[in-house]
Structure formats: structure tokens, C-alpha cells
Structure 1
Amino acid sequence: MTPSWFAQLPVPPVRSPVRLERLAWPDAAHTLQDVLLLPVGAMEQHGPHLPLHTDTVIAESTCQLASALTGAPVLPALGYSVSLGHTVKWPGTFSLFHETLMLTVREIAQWAADTGWNRLLIVNSHYGNDAALRCAVDRLRHDLGGNLLTATRNTWDLTPEIAGRFTHDAADWHANEAETSLMLFLDPAAVVKERLSTADDPDRTMGCVFPHRVAHTSLNGVTGRPSLGTVEQGALLISRMGDALADLIQKARVEHPPLTWAP
């Protein structure tokens, strides 16, 4: 199944993504030697104009585009994750604790290893997941060793250029221009466009020593300038994100530890 937005990309891919859940097991077995992708998003408020599943759409879309470019298989996205910092001020946020996400990822990885995959790349689109996912990878590195090479990458900083696109209107960004542009392209029907012009809210975290919760730094759940978002910028940004992830997949396919060691 090819996402409808593929056709609107500057350079549309020539094949569909490999979505693992749509394969029968003999066909899934044909992907065992490839890099398995696990998108991780969130279910949380994204200001008055973006849907609650924004991070999940971005993670899944980046993986689907990279899969279409490389043929790497994609697992279904994890849509609940660590959104504690967004508090209960704005309805719609549902959060796991860090240890829950860590355990969930570790159990998925264990099944991947036991089934026969030996490379797993976790693709995250929610900042609050970063610490838990890095800890999960460190534990998997200890538990599984070379049986399953595992890494985590964040969609918003796959390259310095991409990172600059996310941070140009806010250092501690959320539901900002970049995310709004992406959603205007990926799922325009889910964006409440009439609220865009009044959704901007500045970054109030500059100079802070402590990591304050979003309810203490934003009036409406936004940090940045979503009013600047455009469909054209969203198409260009997701293209660059997909290309960057595809480059990582190609490297991950052939990477081995620089040295050999057996305990």
C-alpha cells in the first residue's frame, strides 16, 4: 500500500514501503537479513491546530518513505510513549512512564532477535522519548550483544540541515513551523487551518536551568511559529528526512563492530 502523499513528493519513490504487518510470515521471513525499522511517536497535545497523533504520523511517514527507497521492512508504529512533560492541562495527552516504554521496546527487540532479525533501528519523532530509548538500546546492547544490533535515531536531527529546519523558530520547539508544515503535507485534513494564524507562542525556556513542564512554558501547548507552515515546506522536509534515513539504513546493512571480542 502506497501512501497518497508519495505522488506529491518532489521525487516520488518508484516502489511501495514494506509494511511488515501486511505480509504473511513466509514473506516476512524474506526480510530477516535487512534492517528492521520501528517508528515511535506519541499521543499528546500538539497545540490548538495539530492532531494528537502528529509525532506518530511523522515517525511512520519517515519510515515508510525510507522503506520505499531501500526496501527495509517497517513495524507498526508505537503510538503511546513518554509525554509526561505535557501534563494533563490540555485534554488528549496519554503518557507511559519511561520504564514502560523501555520495557516495551526491549520486548519487541527480543522477539525480533528470537525470530531471526539481527539489526533494528528505532526511529523516534517525540523528544520526550529520547532518554528512555537510549537507555533501552544500552540495555539491549548488554542483553543481546551481537545477536541484535540496535540503535535509535530522532527524525528531527537526522542531518544538521534537518535539525536547523526544526529549531529555526524555537530551540525547545513543539507544534512549530516544521511540524505544522509536515502535517499540512502528510495529513492536511487533520490540521485545523483556521487556528494557524493565532497559534504562535514564543520559546520561554531560554536561560532556564531546569527542564520545566510544557504547562509552565506555553500558553496553548505550542512553542514556535506554526503560522509560517506551508505544504511546500512540508513536502521538502519529509523528502529530506526520508532520504537521510535511507542513507542510515544503507550504512546499517553492512556495518559490523570495528573489533571482534568474545566474553
Structure 2
Amino acid sequence: MLDYRQTAVDWAHDPTDIIVLPVGALEQHGSHLPLDTDTTIANYAARIIAEHFQAALLPALPIATSFEHSGYRGTFSLRPETLMAIIRDLSREAEEQAFRIMIVVNGHGGNFSLAPVIRDINRQDRPLKILLAALSAPLPDIFATRSTGAMDMHSGEVETSIMMHVTGRDYPAPPSGGRQGILEQPDLNTFGIGWLNDQGVPGHPELASREKGAAALDIIFRHEIARLQARITMLRQNPRYHH
């Protein structure tokens, strides 16, 4: 695979036509996880995906759309229109460099604007097509890695466990980590994370472990790599959006 630490000569001589773009976020994750948690996880996942497909890896977008975390100092957001424009610009650059498939690895569930801009680019039937890999997809098997059936939306058991595994560090949970609201993720269009939990942690980080993080990532990678492989095969056979 290629990555951004190699030279332009390396990139010029590599025949891959697949490129991977991680998209993270810069937002509060309570008192126990760093602001760049989503970017850290997106980078980790994108590298594994790039290695699997022998693709080129771009550096992560470290700031995206985190309006649901407004009110917490340290959280920064792009407008959805800005994020969409960045995807348009980078996909055009990739297309001009003979890449034909871009995999966008989304590490933040609040980056809702990625899906419509990807759909709009794909429907134009340009030479490059974009696939979206969503690390926060609600896979049923991941629920089995949790100790509770309660909501675990943000900075909770699963996300904290994944960070423990990815970074090799422990993250002591905040005392109020277990207090939760009762809303679902789509409700974040109406209510912010601070409405759910004033500590910014609607979940159970006190139940996290490195073993759970490894198990959750194994499920995510098995699902996403198989799904991406199937879609890449379909695009190789017929890349057109329309019939």
C-alpha cells in the first residue's frame, strides 16, 4: 500500500487505482477520551482497509461536522456544505490522478453530509466512484460485546474499549458515565449530546476493556471489508450509477 509518508515518486510508480480517505472529528468525549478520538479510530481503520486492498492512504480530515457537541470548548465543526465541498475537491483530485475508487472511512456518526455528497458524485457517472465505510454502523454483533443493553451512543463502553485497544492505553471513566438519556441517534438533529448528558457521555465507559475493543473492531472489519470487497467487484463489472 501507499501512504502520505512516501514520496511522489513512490506514488507515481504504484499502479493502484483505489484510494482511502479517513474522516474524523474534533469534539468532546467526556473527561476521559481525547478530542481527536474519532480521527484516531478513523486513521486506524483506514490503514487496515488500505492494507487489505493495497490502496493509497490519504491523511485523515481531522475536523468535520460535530454540531451535536456544540457548547463544549475544544469541539470544532465545519458546516455540512464545507465538508461536502472538501469531498468534491478531493475526489476530483483523485480522479485526475487515475484513481477509480475512493473509500471514505467515516469515524464520526455525526458526519451525516457524507452520504448525500457521495451519492451526488456517484450519480454523475464520473470515472471515479466513492464507497462509504461507516465505522459507527449499528451492527447487531457489536451489541454482544457490550455488558448492557442500554444506549451506548458516545464515549461509552464500545468507543472507550476501541480506544483502549487502538492506543494501548487505559482511560479511567468519569464518575457520572452511567447517567443517560433515552433518545436515539436520529434525535441528535433536535437535541445535542449535552441535553442527553451534561458530562457529554451518554454511555457506560466504566464497563470498557481492551478485549471488548478488539472484539468490536474484529466485527467491524469483517463486516466492512466483506461489504467493500463485494461493492468493488460490482464496480469493476459495471461502474455506472444508472442502468
TM over 0.5: yes
**Cα offset for 1:100?**
0.6
**Cα offset for 1:167?**
11
Q: Secondary structure at the match of 2:113?
A: helix
Partner residue, 1:71: 54
1:100 and 2:59 aligned: no
Q: Name the CA distance, whole Å, in 1 between partners of 2:18 and 2:136.
A: 20
Unaligned runs of 5+ in 2: none
1:41 partner letter: G
**Cα offset for 1:164?**
6.2
1:35 and 2:12 aligned: no
TM-score, reference length from structure 1: 0.80
Partner residue, 1:57: 40
Flag the 1:234–1:192 CA change in 2: closer, same or farther, 3 A. closer
**Cα offset for 1:140?**
1.1
Q: Name the CA distance, whole Å, in 2 between partners of 1:41 and 1:132.
A: 13
Q: Secondary structure at the match of 1:113?
A: helix
Structure 1 window deviating more from structure 2 (48-57 vs 231-240): it is 231-240
Q: Name the CA distance, whole Å, in 2 between partners of 1:60 and 1:47.
A: 21
- 1:112 pairs, out of 94, 100, 113, with 94
**Cα offset for 1:110?**
0.6
1:227 partner letter: E
Q: Secondary structure at the match of 1:179?
A: helix
Q: Name the CA distance, whole Å, in 2 between partners of 1:97 and 1:140.
A: 19
- 2:181 pairs, out of 203, 214, 229, with 203
Q: Name the CA distance, whole Å, in 2 between partners of 1:114 and 1:198.
A: 50
**Cα deviation digits, residues 150-191 of structure 1 (max 9, x gap):** 1212112284423665896544600010000011111244x5
1:225 and 2:208 aligned: no
2:101 partner letter: R
Q: Name the CA distance, whole Å, in 1 between partners of 2:56 and 2:116.
A: 24
Partner residue, 1:240: 219
Structure 1 window deviating more from structure 2 (117-126 vs 59-68): it is 59-68
**Cα offset for 1:244?**
2.9
2:9 partner letter: P
Partner residue, 2:122: 141
Tell me which protein shows more helix as a share of its residues. 1
Q: Name the CA distance, whole Å, in 1 between partners of 2:36 and 2:138.
A: 21
Please report the RMSD computed on the Cα atoms of aligned residues, expressed in angstroms.
2.9
Partner residue, 1:183: 163
Tell me if structure 2 keeps the 8 A contact 1:46–1:54: yes
- 1:213 pairs, out of 187, 192, 196, with 192
Flag the 1:108–1:259 CA change in 2: closer, same or farther, 3 A. closer
Q: What is the number of equivalent residue pairs in this alignment?
A: 241
Matched ranges for 1:120-131 at <5 A = 120-129=102-111, 131=112
Q: Secondary structure at the match of 1:112?
A: helix
TM-score, reference length from structure 2: 0.86
1:42 partner letter: A
Flag the 1:158–1:110 CA change in 2: closer, same or farther, 3 A. farther
Q: Name the CA distance, whole Å, in 2 between partners of 1:156 and 1:22.
A: 27
Tell me if structure 1 keeps the 8 A contact 2:147–2:207: no
1:176 partner letter: G
